[in-house]
Amino acid sequence: MNPQWLKSRTLWICGMLTILILLTGCWSRREIEDLGITIGAAVDIGKETPVEQEFEEQGGDYSKQNALTLTYQMVQPGQSSTSDKGGGEKNYRNISVTGDSLYEDTREIALMQARPIFGQHYKVIVISDKVARKFNMRLLFDFFIREQEFRPSCLVLICKGEARSALDQKDKSEFPSMRLLSITNNRYRSTRILKPMSLSKLLPEINSSSSFLLQNVITAEGEVKFAGAAVIYGKTGKLIGFLNEEDLESINWMTAKVKGGVLKSYDSHTGQPILYEITSMKSKIRPHIEGNRISFDVEIESDGRLGEQWENGNGFDNRFIRRVEEETVKQVRKRIDKMLHRIQKEYRADVIGLDQYVRIYYPRTWEKIKKDWDDKFANASIRYRVKVKIKEFGTTSIKVH
Amino acid sequence: MWNMFVSYLPDWTVFLQALIVVSIPYALSRMMSMTKNAAENNIEQDDQEANPQRDFSGRLDIDLDRMRTEFGNQADLNIRTFCLGNTNQQAAILFVNGISDRDLIDKHIMKSLMVDLTLVGHEQGRDVSSPPFTKQYLKNNVLSVGVVKEVDRFTDLSSELLRGHTALLLDNSNASVIILGTRKEITRSAGEPSSEILVRGPRLGFNESICDNTTLLRQHGEKTNLTITQLRVGQRVTKELAIVYIKDIADDNLVQEVRERVERMNLDDIQDTGYIEQLIEDNYLSPFPQVQSTERLDRVISALMEGRVAILLDGTPFVLTVPTTFNMLLQSPEDYYERWIPGTLVRMLRYFAAFVSTFGPSLYISFISFHQGLIPTKLALSIADTRAGVPFPSLIEVLIMEIALEILREAGLRLPKPIGQTIGIVGGLVIGEAAVQAGIVSPLMVIVVAVTAISSFAIPQYNAGIALRILRFIAMIFAAIFGLYGVVLFFLLLCSHLSKLISFGVPYISPAVPYRLQDWKDFLIRAPFKLMKHRPKMMNTKDPLRRK
C-alpha cells in the first residue's frame, strides 16, 4: 500500500465519480406508469374526427393538408389488470390525429394526453389499402423505421377499408392489437395465414424493391378476419391488388410455409367433400435459366391425415385412400394454377419469393436481371409436382357394410 | 479577434462547476492522507512502550509482599502459605479463584506437598526431613501434575496465574517459581454451529477453547504432518493463537507470510478472529471478505488439505482460513458430501442466487425506469397498472422495501429465536402486504425484494452475503442514474476490482482470473472425484496430487 499511489488513485476515482454525477444523470429516466404504452397504430386517408373538427373550430389548428389520419391504440392503466375482476374488460383508447406527417401527428398527441406515445410495445401497424395504393411503402414506413422508439418485431397488416376499424373491436376481453397479433400464431391451424411480416422483415423487402405480400385483414361490425393478402408491387412500392384466401393458401403450399391446416376437395364420383389435414409439408424449388428462358421446378410433398369425409369411403381400404390423395392433389393443382395465373398474368409480381432462388442459383445472371425481375417472372414457366400422402385417418373411419 | 476569443470563453457557472469538480476529490484525498499519517504516528508510539522486568528474590516473605503489592487488591487472587511436609520450610501457592482447578490443587498439590511429601520420603528411606527441599526434588518426586514449568520473571508469573495456573513459591530457594498447570476452562461441547448448518455432514463445530479446537483438528484422522504453531498475541491481554497448516502441502512462503502478518498485528486486545481478519487482510477498502471465517471443522480441514493455512484464536469458535478466493464463499462442504450432480446443480444455483441478490433490484429499477421496451408487453401493461397508484419513482420504492427488509433481518437476529422467526414472517408478510395495499410499493416490487432476500440467504457464508447486500445498494443507485447501462458499468467496476484483489498472494477470483482450466473442475461445477485428482493449482502446493 503505497500512500502516494493510493492518494493518486483516490483522487482519480473521486474525480471520475464527481464528474459522472455532475455532468449527466437521469437523462432518460421515465417511470413505466408515466408512459402511454401504445400497442397498435393504424394509418388511414386523412379524415378529421368530430373531436378534431371541434378543436379546429375553437382555434386548435395549425397549417396542414390532412393527408393522413393516424390512429394509436393506447393502453389506459388502471383497470386493465385482470387480478380483481377475472378477465374483465381491457381498458384501451384509440386516439386519431389527422395531419400530413406521422411524426408530427404523434407529437400532437402530447398536447392532449398526460402520457405521450411510447412505441416500444407496438404490436401491429395496420395500413389502409387506400393509403397503401396512394403512397410508396418506403415513405409510408419511414417514420416507423426511423423512430428510435419502435419495436422491430411489430406486425404489419393491410386493412381493406378503414384501418382504424381493425383496432376497434366489439370484443373487449382482449386488446384488439393483441388479438390481431395472436391470430398469426394460428398458422398451425390454417394455411390461409401469411407468415407474419414484421417491420424488420419489411425493411429489406422495401429496400430491395421486390414485390411482396402483406396479410390483409377485413372488418365487419366490430369483428375482424384475416382474408387473403395484399400485393405490393416492388417497383412502385404501392399496393396493386389482393389475393383471395385460396390464392394465399396456394402460395403457402408452394413455399411450404405451412404449419398445419386443412384442404377440402370434392370426390369426383360422389361430389361429396373430403377433408385433408396437413401434418407436414416440404417443397423444393429449383430455378433453371437457359438463355432467356427462365423456368422453375417445384416439388411439393405433403404428409397428412384424412380429416373428415362426407361419403361412405372405407378408410381402411388403401384404394379409397389413394383416391382421396388424388382428389387432393387435383384440388391443389387447380388452385395453384389459378394463383399462378393471377400473379403472373394479372399482377405480374413475384410475391412467392422465387427471386431468392434465382439469386442463389444464378448469382451472376441475377445481377443482370434483377432490375426487372417481376417482368421476367411473369413470363417464366413454373412446373410443379404435388405429392400428397395420407398416413392416417385419425381415431376412426367410416366403414362400408 | 479578441471578441472571438471572448465569445468562446464559457460562462462563470462552468468555471464554478469545474472548481467544485476539482476541489471535492482533492479535499477527499487530503483527508484520506491525513488519517493515514495519523495512524502511522500511533504505531511508532506503541513501539516505544517499556517492558519492566523483575526477578524473584528467593525469599518467600519478600516475594509474597511484592506479589501482594503488584496484584494490589485483586479479590480473586488466593495466596496460601504452609509448611512442606512435616518440616518447617515455608512454601506458598498462588492461584486465581475460578479459573484454576480447585479440585486438582487440593487433591494433588496441597496434599502432595503437605501430607504425601513425608510418606514419600519415608518409603524411600531417605532423609527427607532435612530442609530445604529443592525445586528439582519436588518436581521430580512429589508433584503429581502433568504440566510443570519454572519461570523467573514476574510478568511471566502473573500471566500464568491469570491463565489459571498455580504458582508454587518456596522459601530459601533459587529465584524462580514453579508453575503448575491447573488451568480450568469453561467450554461447551462441540455441537453443530448454528450459523452454518448442513443437511449431510459431520455435526462438529469449534468452540471457544483453542485447546479443544486443536484437539478437534488432530482428532480428524491421523495426520502426522498437521503442524500447529502456537503464538501469543495481544499487547495487554495476551491470548493463545495457533497457526495450523499441513507441512507437506502448504506453501512455505504462505506460512511465513501468515506468520509475519499475525506477528505484525500489535493490538492490545484481540477479542475475536474478526480483529485478526481485519488486521491481516490485504485491502481494507474492499467490500469482499478476503479471509474466510468458519465454525465448521470440515471446512477448515478441507481448506488445509487444499494447502491453505488456518488461524485459531483462544476464546472464539471462528477459525480463519487464508488465502481466501471468491469461489470459497459460494461453496459449501455439502457439495462434496453429496454426489457430484446434485452438488454441481446446487453450486450453480448459488452462483445464480449471488447474481440475483446483487443485481435483482437494480435490474428491476432499470427495466421499470429506463427500458420498458424490454419487458414483455403483457407484463409491462400489468406493471404499469400496479404502479399506477405508486407515488414514488422506482428507486425510492425499492429503497423503502430493501431498507425495511434489512431492518427486519437485523431485528430478527437480535430477538430470541422463537420470536425472531415470528417477526420475520409477520414483518415480511404484513409489511409487504400493507405496503402494497397502501399503494406505497407495487406488488411486483415486493416479489423482487423477496426473491432478492431469499437469494441472499442461499449464500453459505454470512459475510459474503453482507458484501453482496452492500453492493446491491450501490448497484441500485447506478441503475437509478444510468439504467441498464449503469448496471453494466457497475458490473464492470466490480469485475475490475475483483480481478485486482489479492488475498495472501492468491488472486481473489483465482480460477477465473488468472485463467486455470485445471481448477475449474471445482469452481462453477463440482466435478466427480474421479476427475479431481489435483489440488488447486493457485495454492502452489508442495504435493499437487490428491489421488494417484
> Do residues A199 and A151 make contact, with C-beta atoms less than 8 angstroms apart?
yes
Which pLDDT score, from 0 to 100, does residue B479 have? 92
B390 touches chain A (CB under 8 A): yes
Taking alpha carbons only, the member of B360, B388, B383 closest to residue B372 is B383
- Shortest Cα distance, chain B CAs vs residue A125, angstroms: 16
pLDDT given at position B52: 46
pLDDT digit string, tens, across residues A205-263: 898 888 999 999 999 988 999 999 999 998 899 999 999 999 999 999 999 988 999 99
Instruction: Please tell me the least confidently modeled range out of A283-287, A388-392, B31-35.
Output: B31-35
Give the C-alpha separation, B533 to B542, whole Å.
Answer: 15
> What is the distance between the terminal CA atoms of chain A, rounded to a whole angstrom?
99
Smallest Cα–Cα separation from B464: which of B334, B345, B328?
A: B328
Contact (CB<8Å) A14/B29: yes
Which residues on chain A place their C-beta less than 8 Å from a C-beta of chain B? 3, 6-7, 10-15, 18-19, 21-22, 25-26, 28-33, 35, 37, 39, 75, 77-81, 118, 120-121, 123, 149, 151, 178
Residues from chain A contacting residue B377 (CB–CB below 8 Å): 37, 39, 121, 123, 178
Q: Which residues of B touch A15 (CB under 8 A)?
A: 21-22, 25
Backbone angles phi and psi of B229, in degrees to 5 = -100, 125
Q: Which residue of B has its CA nearest to A25?
A: B481
Phi, psi of B460 (to 5 degrees): -70, -25
- With contacts defined as CB-CB under 8 Å, which chain A residues touch B370? 28-30
- Cβ contact, residue pair B377, A178, below 8 Å: yes
Contact list in B for residue A4 (CB cut-off 8 A) is: none
Q: Is the CB of residue B32 less than 8 Å away from at least one CB of chain A?
A: yes
Count CB-CB contacts under 10 A for residue A58: 8
* pLDDT tens, residue order, chain B (548 aa): 788 888 888 888 889 998 998 898 899 888 888 877 766 665 555 444 444 445 677 678 888 887 788 776 677 888 888 887 777 778 888 888 888 888 888 888 888 888 777 665 555 555 554 556 777 777 777 777 788 888 877 777 887 888 888 888 887 777 678 888 888 777 778 788 888 888 888 888 898 888 888 888 888 877 778 889 998 888 888 888 999 999 889 999 999 999 999 988 888 888 899 999 999 999 888 999 999 999 999 999 999 988 999 999 988 999 999 899 998 889 888 899 999 999 999 999 999 999 999 999 999 999 999 888 899 988 888 888 888 888 888 889 899 889 988 888 888 878 887 777 777 777 777 888 888 888 888 888 889 998 998 898 888 888 888 899 999 999 999 999 888 989 999 999 999 999 999 999 899 998 888 888 888 888 888 999 888 888 888 888 888 888 77
Sheet strand arrangement including B239-246: B226-233, B239-246, B309-313, B319-322, B292-294
pLDDT score, position B433: 86
Contact A37 B17 (CB under 8 A): no
- CB contacts, 8 Å: A149 with chain B: 373
Question: Is residue B318 a contact partner of residue B497, using CB atoms and an 8 Å limit?
Answer: no
Among the partner residues A19, A22, A32, nearest to B384 by beta-carbon distance: A32
Q: In this complex, which of A13, A80, A178 lies closest to B385 when CB atoms are compared?
A: A80
d(CA A308, CA A268): 16
* Partner-chain residue, chosen from B36, B372, B385, that has the shortest CB–CB distance to A120: B372
Return the residue of B nearest to A77 by Cα: B385
When scoring A22, A24, A31, A179 by the number of chain B Cβ atoms within 10 A, the one with the most, hence best to mutate, is A31
A251: nearest Cα among A344, A359, A328, A376: A344
Can you give the pLDDT at residue B85? 76
Round to whole Å and give the CA distance between B120 and A230.
121
Cα A200 to Cα A154: distance, rounded to the nearest angstrom: 8
Chain A closest-CA separation from residue B308 CA (Å): 24
Give yes or no for a contact between B163 and B183, defined as CB atoms under 8 angstroms apart.
yes
Q: Does B20 touch chain A (CB under 8 A)?
A: yes
Beta-carbon contacts below 8 Å between A and B: 100
pLDDT of residue B53: 47
Q: Residue A79: its chain B contacts at CB < 8 A?
A: 385
- pLDDT given for residue B114 in this prediction: 81
Mutate to test the interface with A, among B20, B261, B381, B436 (most CBs of A within 10 A): B381
For every residue of B532-543, DSSP letters joined together read: --B--GGG--S-
Fold of the domain built from segment(s) A248-392: GMP Synthetase; Chain A, domain 3 (3.30.300)
Best mutation target among B279, B377, B379, B446 (most A Cβ atoms within 10 Å) is B377
Q: What pLDDT score was predicted for residue B110?
A: 83
CA distance to partner chain A, nearest, from residue B65 (Å) = 51
| Cβ-based neighbours of B472, under 8 Å, separated by 6 or more | B357, B358, B359, B360, B361, B362, B402, B452, B456
Give chain B positions within 8 Å (CB) of A19.
21
Please state, for a pLDDT cut of 90, what percent of chain A lies above it. 49
CA–CA min distance A335, chain B (Å): 39
Partners of A6 on chain B (C-beta within 8 Å) are: 32, 36
User: What residues of A are in contact with residue B29 (Cβ under 8 Å)?
Assistant: 7, 10-11, 14
Per-residue confidence (pLDDT) for residue B51, from 0 to 100: 46
Strand partners, B292: B321
How distant is the Cα of B485 from the closest Cα of chain A, in angstroms?
11
DSSP string, A103-151: HHHHHHGGGT-SS-EEGGG--EEEEEHHHHHHS-HHHHSHHHHH-SS--
Give yes or no for B441 touching A (CB within 8 A).
no
pLDDT at A288 over 90: yes
HSE-CB of A240 using CA atoms within 13 angstroms: 18
State whether residue B120 sits within 8 Å of chain A by CB.
no
Q: According to the 3-state scheme, what is the secondary structure of B123-160? A: HCCCCCCCCCCCHHHHHHHHCCCCCEEEECCHHHHHHH
Nearest to A254 by CA among A303, A187, A299: A299
Q: Which residue of B has its CA nearest to A79?
A: B385
The closest CB to that of A32, out of B368, B378, B483, belongs to B368
Interface mutation target, options A4, A8, A29, A179, chain B, most CBs of B under 10 Å: A29
The domains of chain A are located at: 33-243, 248-392
Task: Report the residue count for chain A.
Answer: 401
pLDDT attached to residue A19: 74
- H/E stretch holding A290: strand A273-290
CB-based contacts of A111, cutoff 8 Å, min separation 6: none
Query: What's the complex ipTM?
Result: 0.80
Separation in Å, CA A111 to CA A61, B97, B396: 12, 88, 29
Tell me the C-alpha distance between A240 and A216, whole Å.
13
Put simply, whether the predicted model's pTM sits higher than 0.90 gets the answer no
Q: Are the beta carbons of A81 and B17 separated by less than 8 Å?
A: no
Q: Are A7 and B29 a contacting pair at CB < 8 A?
A: yes
- Asked whether B268 and B234 are in contact (CB, 8 A), the reply is yes
Helix (H, G, I), strand (E, B) or coil at A174: coil
Q: Are strands A212-220 and B77-83 parallel, antiparallel or unpaired?
A: unpaired
